[in-house]
């Protein structure tokens, strides 16, 4: 059974919905990081065994296959699109590591999402003469009382975990500040449609945050537009290879996959599921959270990110050094893969043997965590 190595990691910039990527189709988004990781690793297209992408909004089809073909991969290379909502991009990378363990040599994995170009959704009528029923999202639990609106759930989480509004505001301000101070460079972002930098980071202030009304929760624990990640378009990919393939490539500092974990939790409190996933893989290897040098934890909501960081016991100095989803945006099926790409690039600054963690939650009470070392 071969170890799995992440040898190249690229993403597009993240653009808010109806922004720079508003006319870019989902397969065009996915094409850009695929081409970039192939070039970075210096690997031939016909050496790729599989492509696995997460996607949540395409409403069927197989955007991973479309992106792979558009990127010039041979017809014989299969592709798989998975939908575990926000976890999809990270889950795809974990599946790629499993493919390596089962005998594959090179798998491109990641995620892609376009809020701007997502199809409109409607349910067919049950009876003749009835109109189709439009809807924004599918159910994530079979019981309506345990399937909350995600923004409302973030407000509930804030109160349950005693995360007042001023802490959420401060976390969002810090995310934007870090994104501005440590922007992703040309070695991370594959330019597309004239955009080569994340479009959303800004100089968020306490004064501006204080003026925003709550959109969920009360005045003490309320969630606002500043503490919710904006809907966004982006794609990200990593090249995952076997030890045998690694020896054939001219790669200086790959990341080795140490462990991966997926956990389910209460669908009514979906934001905290990554805590169990991360604790499980750390405990199984007797690794203290303090040993994590770099941590990329999804910021779909400030309350959720704070709860996860504290629940996993991630050091503040390790957390989301280049900002997170609150500063960039949340392209659902790509967000987990963006965490992995950010982790790969941040880990390049660390000493050999350092540990890195990526973790993300998803609607329905799902959590995924990936542990790597350099």
Active site residues: 86, 330
In angstroms, the Cα distances linking 198 to 38, 140, 229, 328, 335 are 22, 30, 13, 6, 13
Distance between alpha carbon 303 and the CA centroid of its chain, in Å? 17
The phi, psi pair for 291, rounded to 5°, reads: -80, -10
Write phi, then psi, for 110 (nearest 5 degrees).
170, -140
Nearest to 345 by CA among 32, 36, 27, 31: 36
Distance from the Cα of residue 203 to its chain's centroid: 23
For residues 83 and 62, is the Cβ–Cβ distance under 8 A? no
Instruction: Tell me which residue has tokens 């973790």.
Output: 359
Block residue for tokens 């790597």: 372
User: What does the DSSP 8-state code read for residue 179?
Assistant: H
CA-wise closest residue to 329 among 74, 54, 13: 13
What are 323's two structure tokens?
């900002």
How far, in Å, CA of 331 to CA of 325, rounded? 9
Count of CB atoms situated within 10 Å of the CB of 106: 26
What lies within 8 Å, CB to CB, of 5 at 6+ separation is 240, 241, 242, 243, 246, 251, 254, 255, 256, 257
* Of the candidates 86, 72, 139, the residue with the CA atom closest to the CA atom of residue 274: 86
The backbone torsions φ and ψ at residue 258, rounded to the nearest 5 degrees and listed phi first, read -90, -45
């Amino acid at each position: 059974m071969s170890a799995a190595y992440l040898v190249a990691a690229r993403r597009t910039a993240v653009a808010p919905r109806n922004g720079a990527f508003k006319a870019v189709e989902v397969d065009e988004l996915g094409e850009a990081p695929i081409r970039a990781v192939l070039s970075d690793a210096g690997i031939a297209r016909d050496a790729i065994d599989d492509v696995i992408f997460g996607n949540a909004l395409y409403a069927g089809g197989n955007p991973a296959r479309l992106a792979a073909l558009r990127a010039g991969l041979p017809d014989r290379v299969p592709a798989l699109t998975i939908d575990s909502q926000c976890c999809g991009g990270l889950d795809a990378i974990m599946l790629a590591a499993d493919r390596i363990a089962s005998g594959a040599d090179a798998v491109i994995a990641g995620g892609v999402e376009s809020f701007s170009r997502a199809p409109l959704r409607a349910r067919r009528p049950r009876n003749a003469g009835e109109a189709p029923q439009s809807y924004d999202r599918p159910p994530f639990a079979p019981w309506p009382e345990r399937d909350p609106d995600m923004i409302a759930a973030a407000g509930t989480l804030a109160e349950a975990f005693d995360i007042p509004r001023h802490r959420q505001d401060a976390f969002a301000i810090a995310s934007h500040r870090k994104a501005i101070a440590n922007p992703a460079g040309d070695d991370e972002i594959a330019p597309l449609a004239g955009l080569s930098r994340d479009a959303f980071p800004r100089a968020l202030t306490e004064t501006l945050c204080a003026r925003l009304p709550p959109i969920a929760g009360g005045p003490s624990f309320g969630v606002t537009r500043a503490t919710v990640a904006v809907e966004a378009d982006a794609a990200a990919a990593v090249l995952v290879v076997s030890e045998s393939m690694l020896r054939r490539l001219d790669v200086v500092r790959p990341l080795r996959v140490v462990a991966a974990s997926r956990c389910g939790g209460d669908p009514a409190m979906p934001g905290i599921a990554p805590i169990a996933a991360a604790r499980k893989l750390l405990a199984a290897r007797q690794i203290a959270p303090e040993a994590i040098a770099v941590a990329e934890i999804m910021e779909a909501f400030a309350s959720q990110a704070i709860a996860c960081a504290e629940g996993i016991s991630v050091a503040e100095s390790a957390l989301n050094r280049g900002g997170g989803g609150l500063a960039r945006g949340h392209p659902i099926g790509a967000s987990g893969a963006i965490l992995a790409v950010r982790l790969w690039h941040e880990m390049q600054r660390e000493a050999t043997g350092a540990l890195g963690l990526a973790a993300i939650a998803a609607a329905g009470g799902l959590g995924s965590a990936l542990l790597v070392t350099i």
